[in-house]
Amino acid sequence: MEEMDHLAHERSKAQFDVDAMKVVWAGSKHALDVSDRMARLVASDPVFRKDNRTMLGRKELFKNTLRKAAHAWKRVHELRLTEEEASMLRLFLDEPSYVDLHWGMFVPAIKGQGTDEQQKKWLPLAYKMQIIGCYAQTELGHGSNVQGLETTATFDPKTDEFIIHSPTLTSSKWWPGGLGKISTHAVVYARLITDGKDHGINGFIVQLRSLDDHSPLPGITIGDIGTKFGNGAYNTMDNGVLRFDHVRIARNQMLMRVSQVTREGKYLQSDVPRQLLYGTMVYVRQTIVSDASKALSRAVCIAVRYSAVRRQFGSQDGGPETQVIDYKTQQSRLFPLLASAYAFRFVGEWLKWLYADVTRRLQANDFSTLPEAHACTAGLKSLTTSATADGIEECRKLCGGHGYLCSSGLPELFAVYVPACTYEGDNVVLLLQVARFLMKTVSRLGSGKQPVGATAYMGRAQHLMQCKCDVRGAEDWLKPSIILEAFEARAVRLAVNCAQNISKAASPEEGFSELSADLLEAAVAHCQLIIVSKFIEKVQQDMPGPGVREQLQILCNIYALSVLHKHVGDFLVTGCITPKQASLANDQLRSLYSQIRPNAIALVDAFNYTDHYLGSVLGRYDGNVYPNLYEEAWKDPLNDSVVPDGYHEYIQPLLKQKIRVSRL
């Protein structure tokens, strides 16, 4: 009975080859193989269990995370895992820790901003984890505005040192992950001052703690910034606070790849172009887009499976009730998210290619595509993380009351995911950057210089400003060319409208700021177009396995038409489509939901997630939800005793009312 697959019937309905789809989702047969092996390795190791995580107090939780990280490091070496395998293992470990910042920010910062000599000195130590580093940029008073950071690094020519100092309370470093309790070193961003002159923000490698006994070095105050959103979640991470009281470091600990301070205290720019730094941002944000598809697909996997298990209403003659996944309202909330998970996966894959392409060009001193690539990744980071955060919470609601239990996995998934909307660039601030880029692109139209990359469509602005949508029947909305043109026309028209309205303002800056809410919408339209177009391109590729392409085609259309439905105002206001065409799109969408329905379970199976990684009783592969929910409940600490602690002091006197009743 326990071994029964309650979803077997659902699986038998699939109209495509699930194993082939697994390869498509993973990216390649090799990638699937690696991720499958690493996922199982983690799932089978008791040290990596996480089902008790939401019940632990902060200290216990944190200690356990340290234990897991150390164990992972040990396994990586025992098994001689490749770098690819090791990073997959860390992914499936599924627990934020200092390790993420060490590999994800500290090492890349040194690689990107350190001289060859600096890299030679620091990277081997970091690779062996003989030092542990974090990325200390944000301060109490400044996050988005990096140029406003207040920490100072003043060069002292007498001793050939920098004096790192926190001159105000708001200059305290605040938020860096791994800083609070673990890191021995940090890349600290500070305002460089030589000879009384302020040269702006630069990075410095600063040792924070003794390598002997881990105590903070003299002049350094350091701690954790406190509990964050959710049970478990990001509380496994020691986001920290850090203050410097005139801490001295050697001059060669300034990261000097793009600018230097000489022994005499002269500030020099090197001939390495500053834009290189943008390359790193493109890299980091591209990984965030790829994480978005992972997080969203996990939530969708849970909600789809549970929606097939859950039955409510509609029993006829004592037969089983309706599976809630068969309600059109459930479908209209759930299937666009399923489609989005696939859409984000493919646009993430494309971004990975884009990063490789940009890197190749940079190495050949070709900077021409960098601004566009930078705007594109900024926008996609913003769009995919916002949609994922909202999507996880929608999946939670789709599970009804049970989604509110930690054992559903969804509360923690949400809480651990949402800061992605804020870190690595606040999503609104990023969209404004995209908008700025779009306005620049519009202003150059007609100058002869053709827009490149994902803005190439703007080169056809003249056509797109006045084209008419050819949809006559609902099935016309299945044509990629029609969908694409509608999205392109909407994006161009919104951008051009904004540009025209800005030009009416007293100054471009004033116009931009006055119209910035509209500009956000134009930026979103541009990014949604990119996602739709990359999904369409993906579906046109060679695709092995029966039925695979057909399913992706349906998902692609669901993604495009559900976005169109949600933002139909944009399409109508700009005259891209007519009300009648909007309503035909809606009809088509309903029909697509019916087509995807029998494949829904298999489409989330294709993510190939273990029950360990999902971490959800509702999302179990075997659909055996109820007995396991019931069992989970009893593990709560409150169930340690039948009569709860506090009963004798606070409940019994109430029930007995010895004193107070007489007073009534």
Ligand X SMILES: Cc1cc2nc3c(=O)[nH]c(=O)nc-3n(C[C@H](O)[C@H](O)[C@H](O)COP(=O)(O)OP(=O)(O)OC[C@H]3O[C@@H](n4cnc5c(N)ncnc54)[C@H](O)[C@@H]3O)c2cc1C
Task: Please report, in range form, the residues annotated as the binding site for FAD.
Answer: 138, 177
Within 603-642, the residues that bind a second copy by CB under 8 A are: 626-627, 629-630, 632-640, 642
Within 29-88, the residues that bind ligand X by CB under 6 A are: none
Q: Binding partner of residue 418 among a second copy, ligand X, Ca ion, none, CB under 5 to 8 Å per kind?
A: a second copy
Strand, coil or helix: what is 231? coil
Q: Which of 398, 431, 539, 548 binds ligand X (CB under 6 A)?
A: 398
Nearer Cβ to a second copy (444/660): 660
Within 228-267, the residues that bind ligand X by CB under 6 A are: 234, 239
Within 212-231, the residues that bind a second copy by CB under 8 A are: 213-216, 223-231
Task: Assess 144 for contact with ligand X (CB under 6 A).
Answer: yes
Task: Assess 330 for contact with ligand X (CB under 6 A).
Answer: yes
Strand, coil or helix: what is 112? helix
Q: Which of 369, 422, 433, 591 binds ligand X (CB under 6 A)?
A: 422
Task: Assess 428 for contact with ligand X (CB under 6 A).
Answer: yes
Question: Quick one: tokens of 386?
Answer: 């916002």
Task: Assess 320 for contact with ligand X (CB under 6 A).
Answer: no
Within 398-457, the residues that bind a second copy by CB under 8 A are: 400-401, 403-407, 411, 414-415, 418-419, 421-423, 426-428, 432
Q: Binding partner of residue 4 among a second copy, Ca ion, ligand X, none, CB under 5 to 8 Å per kind?
A: none
Nearest residue to 250 (alpha-carbon basis) of 103, 120, 118, 346: 118
DSSP, res 307: H
Q: Which residue is nearest to ligand X (CB)?
A: 143
Task: Assess 45 for contact with a second copy (CB under 8 A).
Answer: no
Q: Which whole-number Å values give the CA distances from 631 to 309, 482, 620, 625, 626, in the listed order? A: 18, 52, 14, 10, 9
CB 105 within 8 A of CB 111: no
Within 62-81, the residues that bind a second copy by CB under 8 A are: 62-63, 66-67, 69-70, 73-74, 77
Number of residues that bind ligand X (CB under 6 A): 31
Residues with catalytic annotation? 424
Radius of gyration of the CA atoms of the chain, in A: 27
Q: Binding partner of residue 655 among Ca ion, ligand X, a second copy, none, CB under 5 to 8 Å per kind?
A: a second copy
Q: Binding partner of residue 135 among Ca ion, a second copy, ligand X, none, CB under 5 to 8 Å per kind?
A: ligand X
Please identify which residue in the block is written with the tokens 């929606």: 307
Q: Which of 14, 26, 101, 584 binds ligand X (CB under 6 A)?
A: 101
Dihedral sign from CA coordinates of 421, 424, 425, 430:
negative
Question: Quick one: tokens of 220?
Answer: 């350094």
CA gap 110, 664 in Å, rounded: 72
Task: Assess 419 for contact with ligand X (CB under 6 A).
Answer: yes
Nearer Cβ to ligand X (148/218): 148
Nearer Cβ to a second copy (223/273): 223
Q: Binding partner of residue 213 among a second copy, ligand X, Ca ion, none, CB under 5 to 8 Å per kind?
A: a second copy
> Would you tell me how many other CB atoms lie within 10 Å of the CB of residue 635?
12
Nearer Cβ to a second copy (142/285): 142
Please identify which residue in the block is written with the tokens 């009893």: 634
Q: Which whole-number Å values give the CA distances from 117 to 131, 185, 208, 363, in the listed order? A: 17, 18, 22, 19
CA gap 518, 529 in Å, rounded: 17
CB 512 within 8 A of CB 522: no
CA gap 280, 620 in Å, rounded: 38
Task: Assess 238 for contact with a second copy (CB under 8 A).
Answer: yes
CB 242 within 8 A of CB 172: yes
Nearer Cβ to a second copy (260/501): 501
Q: At what angle do helices 410-417 and 276-309 cross, to 10 degrees?
A: 160
**Least distance in angstroms from the C-beta of 196 to a second copy:** 15
**Least distance in angstroms from the C-beta of 659 to ligand X:** 30
How far apart, in Å, do the first and last CA atoms of the chain sit? 57
Task: Assess 151 for contact with ligand X (CB under 6 A).
Answer: no
Nearer Cβ to Ca ion (566/648): 566
Q: Which whole-number Å values give the CA distances from 285 to 73, 279, 638, in the listed order? A: 25, 10, 42
> Rounded to 10 degrees, what is the CA torsion of 539, 542, 548, 553?
20
Task: Assess 647 for contact with ligand X (CB under 6 A).
Answer: no
Nearer Cβ to ligand X (238/485): 238
Count Cα neighbours of 439 within 13 Å in the Cβ-side half-sphere: 24
Strand, coil or helix: what is 188? strand
Nearest residue to 56 (alpha-carbon basis) of 186, 221, 232, 229: 232
Q: Binding partner of residue 539 among ligand X, a second copy, Ca ion, none, CB under 5 to 8 Å per kind?
A: none
Query: For a second copy, which stretch binds (CB under 8 A), given 151-159, 271-279, 531-539, 649-657?
Result: 649-657
Phi, psi of 659 (to 5 degrees): -90, -50
Beta-bridged to residue 529, according to DSSP, are: none
Within 135-194, the residues that bind a second copy by CB under 8 A are: 138, 140-145, 148, 169-170, 172, 175, 180-182, 184
DSSP, res 209: B
CB 532 within 8 A of CB 383: no
Nearer Cβ to Ca ion (228/565): 565
Instruction: Enumerate binding residues for ligand X (CB under 6 A).
Output: 101, 135-138, 143-144, 175-177, 234, 239, 310, 312-313, 324, 327, 329-330, 398, 400-402, 404, 419, 422-423, 426, 428-429, 432
